[in-house]
């Protein structure tokens, strides 16, 4: 019987999540309940003591961040085209316009020089993505933002636990947004979080998140009844999902140890092969402490990449590309011309992601590597 396929990513659940969910079911299950508050406190400790609000997704976390920071119709937000659709959708949902800029070859994050070229009188913010949990060039992006009075919202969907110069990703700009989607290092199926630099903005976000009411203040006993105080929406995470996150946070260290072990195994097994095949592995940079969220390779050209993906899949290894650049997607094209994004186009044509998740064994890594060496001998 052939071995089962090796999945690109898989969540790791056991009795700990089931127990915690059972506990949540015995109490309140709406949002902003005891597990939500507990998990927000735990995340706060991981995120330099910044106020954290749980949300239903990272997409919603970004919408909420942009709304709380005052983005709206007429504003432009510079973001990468090399990203998941959510980054640009969040901008569009608040009525603003995404302006796509190129990425840097080294970090696969926004290129500050190209961002600067795309600033217009309407630009209000920059939305960098920390691809694979590797920090974008935040020193230059933050300098630029400061000098041009732009707000910075970090799409740290991949970035929980990763750092830049010791500082957690998601705490470097005005707001940072995280994902707990099933593919992320810590997951509750679908979920997210947002963190803010400014306590006043966080308070505004708390109201927007609760349908424009001051229910959060009411739950803390600060007002004796709650009412409609602003325009809002519904972005609170159910306590059942927060209970799952609580169990996942208990396992965070184990998850990270497993991921790190698998990544170092990939690196050992692939170093000589990568050199011989002009393939680039993710950068090792002491300033950028990653979280081993994704393991990717950049191959020399598109034909080699496609051969690699087909060869791996034929051998039961569910490797994948990343992303269709947003400016070249059907909807992205309908938003108007973007101009040249040469690094984005090249990276999207040549990138392969290899399976990486906490249920993978070192034997699985050997199988992936053997399949890769057969696909591209």
Q: Distance between CA atoms of 66 and 76, rounded to whole angstroms?
A: 11
Q: For strand 151-155 and strand 192-196, is the pairing parallel, antiparallel, or unpaired?
A: unpaired
Q: How many CA atoms lie within 13 A of 5 on its CB side?
A: 14
We find the least distance from the C-beta atom of residue 88 to ligand PLP, in angstroms, to be 10
We find the least distance from the C-beta atom of residue 192 to ligand PLP, in angstroms, to be 5
We find the least distance from the C-beta atom of residue 353 to ligand PLP, in angstroms, to be 11
Tell me 3's DSSP state.
P
We find the least distance from the C-beta atom of residue 59 to ligand PLP, in angstroms, to be 3
Q: Which is nearer to ligand PLP, 87 or 350 (CB)?
A: 87
Q: Which is nearer to ligand PLP, 158 or 315 (CB)?
A: 158
We find the least distance from the C-beta atom of residue 196 to ligand PLP, in angstroms, to be 18
CB-CB contact of 180 with 187 (8 Å): yes
Q: How many CA atoms lie within 13 A of 45 on its CB side?
A: 6
**Closest to 176 in 3D by CA, of 288, 77, 48:** 48
We find the least distance from the C-beta atom of residue 76 to ligand PLP, in angstroms, to be 19
* Six-digit token string for 119: 């600033």
DSSP string, 155-219: E-TT-TT-EETTEETTSSSSEEEEE--TTSSS-SSS-EEEEES-HHHHHHHHHHHBTTB-HHHHH
Q: Which is nearer to ligand PLP, 125 or 192 (CB)?
A: 192
We find the least distance from the C-beta atom of residue 5 to ligand PLP, in angstroms, to be 21
We find the least distance from the C-beta atom of residue 146 to ligand PLP, in angstroms, to be 24
Q: Which is nearer to ligand PLP, 57 or 171 (CB)?
A: 57
Q: Which is nearer to ligand PLP, 178 or 266 (CB)?
A: 178
We find the least distance from the C-beta atom of residue 311 to ligand PLP, in angstroms, to be 26
Q: Distance between CA atoms of 149 and 319, rounded to whole angstroms?
A: 41
Enumerate binding residues for ligand PLP (CB under 6 A): 57-59, 83-84, 86-87, 129, 155, 157-158, 179, 181, 192
Tell me the β-bridge partners of 168: 163
CB-CB contact of 360 with 261 (8 Å): no
Q: Which is nearer to ligand PLP, 83 or 350 (CB)?
A: 83
Q: Which is nearer to ligand PLP, 46 or 375 (CB)?
A: 46
Three-class SS state of 305: helix
We find the least distance from the C-beta atom of residue 2 to ligand PLP, in angstroms, to be 30
Q: Which is nearer to ligand PLP, 326 or 369 (CB)?
A: 326
Name 140's Cβ contacts closer than 8 Å, sequence gap at least 6: 112
- With 0-12 / 13-18 / 19 or more C-beta atoms within 10 angstroms meaning exposed / middle / buried, residue 287 is exposed
Taken in order 182, 186, 188, 194, the sign of the CA dihedral is negative
Q: Which is nearer to ligand PLP, 62 or 369 (CB)?
A: 62
Q: Which is nearer to ligand PLP, 67 or 129 (CB)?
A: 129
| Adjacency order of strands within the sheet including 288-289 | 167-168, 163-164, 288-289
Which three-class secondary structure string do you get for 275-289?
HHCCCECCCCCCCEE
């Amino acid at each position: 019987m052939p071995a089962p396929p090796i999945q690109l990513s898989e969540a790791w659940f056991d009795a700990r999540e089931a127990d915690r969910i059972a506990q949540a079911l015995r109490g309140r299950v709406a949002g902003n309940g005891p597990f939500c508050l507990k998990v927000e406190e735990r995340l706060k400790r991981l995120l330099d003591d910044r106020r954290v609000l749980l949300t239903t997704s990272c997409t919603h976390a970004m919408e909420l961040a942009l709304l709380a920071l005052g983005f709206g119709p007429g504003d432009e937000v510079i973001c990468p085209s090399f990203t998941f659709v959510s980054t640009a959708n969040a901008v569009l949902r608040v009525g603003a316009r995404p302006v796509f800029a190129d990425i840097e070859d080294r970090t696969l994050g926004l290129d500050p020089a190209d961002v600067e070229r795309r600033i217009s009188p309407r630009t209000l913010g920059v939305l960098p993505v920390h691809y694979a949990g590797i920090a974008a060039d935040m020193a230059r992006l933050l300098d630029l933002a400061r000098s041009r009075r732009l707000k910075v919202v970090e799409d740290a969907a991949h970035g929980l636990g990763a750092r830049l110069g010791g500082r957690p990703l998601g705490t470097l700009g005005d707001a940072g947004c995280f994902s707990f989607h099933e593919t992320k290092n810590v997951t509750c199926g679908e979920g997210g979080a947002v963190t803010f630099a400014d306590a006043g903005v966080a308070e505004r976000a708390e109201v927007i998140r609760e349908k424009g009411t001051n229910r959060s203040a009411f739950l803390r006993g600060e007002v004796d009844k709650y009412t409609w105080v602003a325009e809002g929406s519904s972005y609170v995470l159910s306590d059942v999902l927060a209970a799952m996150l609580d169990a996942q946070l208990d396992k965070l260290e184990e998850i990270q140890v497993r991921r790190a072990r698998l990544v170092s195994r990939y690196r050992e097994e692939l170093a000589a092969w990568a050199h011989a095949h002009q393939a680039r592995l993710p950068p090792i940079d002491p300033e950028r402490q990653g979280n081993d969220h994704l393991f990717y390779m950049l191959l020399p050209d598109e034909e080699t990449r496609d051969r690699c993906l087909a060869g791996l899949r034929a051998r039961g290894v569910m490797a994948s590309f990343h992303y269709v650049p947003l400016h070249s997607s059907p909807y992205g094209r309908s938003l108007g011309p973007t101009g040249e994004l040469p690094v984005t186009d090249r990276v999207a044509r040549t990138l392969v992601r290899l399976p990486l998740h906490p249920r993978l064994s070192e034997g699985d890594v050997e199988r992936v590597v053997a399949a890769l060496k057969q696909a591209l001998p």
